[in-house]
Homo-oligomer: A and B are copies of this chain.
Amino acid sequence: MGKRVVIVGGVAAGMKTAARLRRLDAEAEIIVLERGPQLSYGACGFPYFISGEVKSMDSFDHTPQGALRDSDYFAAVKGIDARCGCNVQKMDRVQKCVHYMEKGELKKLSYDVLVLATGSTPVKLPLPNADAAGIHSFWFPWDVEAVDKEIAEGGVKDVVIIGAGFIGLELAEAFVRRGLHTSVLEQQDRLLPQLLDEDMAALLLRDTKNPLLDIYLEERAGAFTVENGKVSGVQTDKRVIPAQLVIVAVGVRPNVELAREAGLVIGPSGCIAVNEYLQTSDDAIYAGGDCAENTHRVSGAKVFVPMGSTANKHGRVIADNICGARKQYPGVLGTAACRFFAQEAGATGLNERTARQAGIDFASAIVPGSDRLGYMPGVGRIVLKLLAEKSSGRVLGAQAVGASVAKRIDILAAAISLGATLENLSGLDLAYAPPFNTPIENIATAANVLQNKLDGQLRSINPVEFEKNRTQEDYLFVDVRTPAEVAAKRIADIPSRVNLPLDTLRTADISKMDKEQKIVTACQIDLRGYEAEVILRARGFQDVYSLEGGMSGWPYATESDKDKK
């Protein structure tokens, strides 16, 4: 018999380590200790059970052939000794053993190599009445089953979700699909606050309209109201939102207690510190999955990014290294995407906040476009935002909202991982055909736009910036769309504006316009606004800017013909 590898935690990182290890090493003794009742389940799918798209919880822990992935399965198929109901309480690094409780009995197991794959735990809100019936985390299978049962029993009409991270948003869509009136409460000023900048989050919000959905931003839950021992509402600093069901989805914390008590180094992110081989400060102990610290591939920052995809990759690298491969885990980009009603939202790499934290001097551009040729059935709008380092053009990060977002984010994640510059993105030979994209792909267009900006060829103003300053500034707003487009929708409260369609601008008599005055040009996506900027500059105007993203990128108030009396 080979060396004994003990793995604490039997879901993603733990079971992936075990499975890969067995394939690499027929001799090793592989023992997984899991405190819960269930192994190897896919929590990521839970929201789609609530929505009704997935019919059975069995989907999450059965193979495509219908076999339950329990201890028997792992023994027979994968050659692994995986034990449920085994709660590890202490690690003894000197004796190289763990102490665990099984069926009320304290047991001891020695190891040659130990793997910590203990995952994370949802954060609770320490608010009045937080223990009332009807208030749930949404993390473990039993959470999901309880929520589903309460809905099925018919007592739920209104749901409040606290937290607008991706689990919160996936669940909001799920409850609405289930026919429930759903409110999302978020204390920060935007949806997906970890992922999206203010401008992009505002676009996601702008295009999310559903009669069953209410979103409350910059609003904090202060207490739960209760009737007959059951939750009846969420009390915020502004109102009481009725709720017979509340989901607390305000984030998770890595399970590091075991590691901390055993004296392993805990990193700045609060996770177990690991080197590039995913070894902890004790060479004989690896950590992977949610409990292990990640390094950001762009900034080098130590980050807590709990993802199932990462957990599986960690597991594979750990198994290889246990077998002596010295395989490096390359770190993460914090890539994520989620479906949210008719849109998708996603991000990879650094955003404005994390780029600033990293002390990088960057520029950004918001670039709307269509996700395939405009005449193709199914065409959708996608708004991309790119961030690049000013000095080098290195791409730092990307965000997207709209249609076909996950595709673009993945292409960008691949490119950023490999150190792409804007020029690299511009030259990518992507597969162009009308059902899939446009001859110059959205990503190349976005790169060109941002490069134009870095080159001073395009001088665009970010919509958030424009919104903040436009009441204090003196400028002329030159709308270069067609009169019909202007009539259909225009930005509200612009004191001084003129409509000069682009096709008139080269020859229009603009001799009366003040060449020193600040001019802001605008159109639908800023393609024509950019042309207008260039034309006006060539005609002697000094201080011309275009509104980045045009109307497509404008998340604030507009007036349409209908609104105008």
Contact = CB atoms under 8 A, between A and B. Distances in A.
Nearest to A47: B434
Interface stretch (A142-150, A157-165, A439-447): A439-447
Nearest to A372: B406
Query: How many monomers of this chain does the complex have?
Result: 2
Given A415-B414, A418-B419, A440-B313, A431 B375 contact: no
A330 B440 contact: no
Contacts of A448: 316
Interface stretch (A223-231, A277-285, A498-506, A513-521): A498-506
Interface in A24-39: 24, 26
A330 B424 CA distance: 8
Nearest to A506: B79
Chain A interface size range: 35 or more
Interface in A64-83: 64-65, 67, 73, 76-79
B431 A406 contact: yes
A402 interface: no
A77 B406 contact: no
B23 A457 contact: yes
Interface string A327-339: 1011111111111
Interface stretch (A235-243, A302-310, A383-391): A302-310
Contacts of A307: 432
A413 interface: yes
Contacts of A310: 429
Contact of A330 (B331, B376, B427): B427
B407 A339 contact: no
A374 interface: yes
Given A23-B531, A67-B503, A411-B414, A376 B429 contact: no
A535 B19 CA distance: 12
Contacts of A444: 313
Interface of A: 12, 23-24, 26, 42, 44-45, 48, 53-54, 59-60, 64-65, 67, 73, 76-79, 166, 170, 297, 307-313, 316, 327, 329-339, 346, 348, 373-377, 406-407, 409-415, 417-420, 423-424, 426-437, 439-441, 444, 448, 457, 481-482, 485, 502-504, 506-507, 524, 530-531, 534-535, 538
Given A26-B534, A335-B430, A417-B424, 9 more contacts: A23-B531, A44-B373, A44-B439, A45-B434, A166-B433, A308-B432, A313-B426, A414-B414, A418-B424
8 contacts: A44-B439, A48-B376, A60-B375, A297-B429, A334-B429, A348-B429, A413-B429, A417-B427
